Amino acid sequence: MRTSFNIPDTVIDEFDQVWQDEGLDNRSRAVREAMQEYIESHSRLEDLSEDVIALVAFDYRHHEVIGELHGVQHDSHTPRGVVSRILVLPGDRRTRSGIDLPPS
């Protein structure tokens, strides 16, 4: 089926760069894969019947929200009593607080 879309040139340019960098054969294949990923990501959660774990990332001013944040953390334990924390360190893409990362 042939279909046409009205998409800004800047979006098309960026999309073309991404699918070419990924090594896909052509734009049609890239669009098919993108549409399939969109469908899967928007229908997958609706089909689940078991518990799920969500990752919420945000920046905050520690002294303004720490009390409420601790309450949320303690109220959101998994059934096994596990609380996960993720540390995100600011910095450029090569180093994070003195930790040297390998070249990409």
pLDDT tens-digit profile of 72-103? 666 555 555 555 566 666 665 555 445 555 55
| Structural domain harbouring 35 | 9-47
Give pTM, 2 decimals.
Answer: 0.45
The number of domains in the chain is 2
Residue 19 lies in a domain: yes
Other Cβ atoms within 10 Å of 15 Cβ, number: 15
Residue 91 lies in a domain: yes
Say whether both 39 and 66 belong to one domain. Answer: no
Say whether both 71 and 95 belong to one domain. Answer: yes
Region of 27 (left: φ > 0; alpha: ψ -120 to 50; beta: rest) is: alpha
Does residue 61 carry a pLDDT above 50?
A: yes
- 21-57 pLDDT, tens digit per residue, is 999 999 999 999 999 989 888 777 677 777 777 676 6
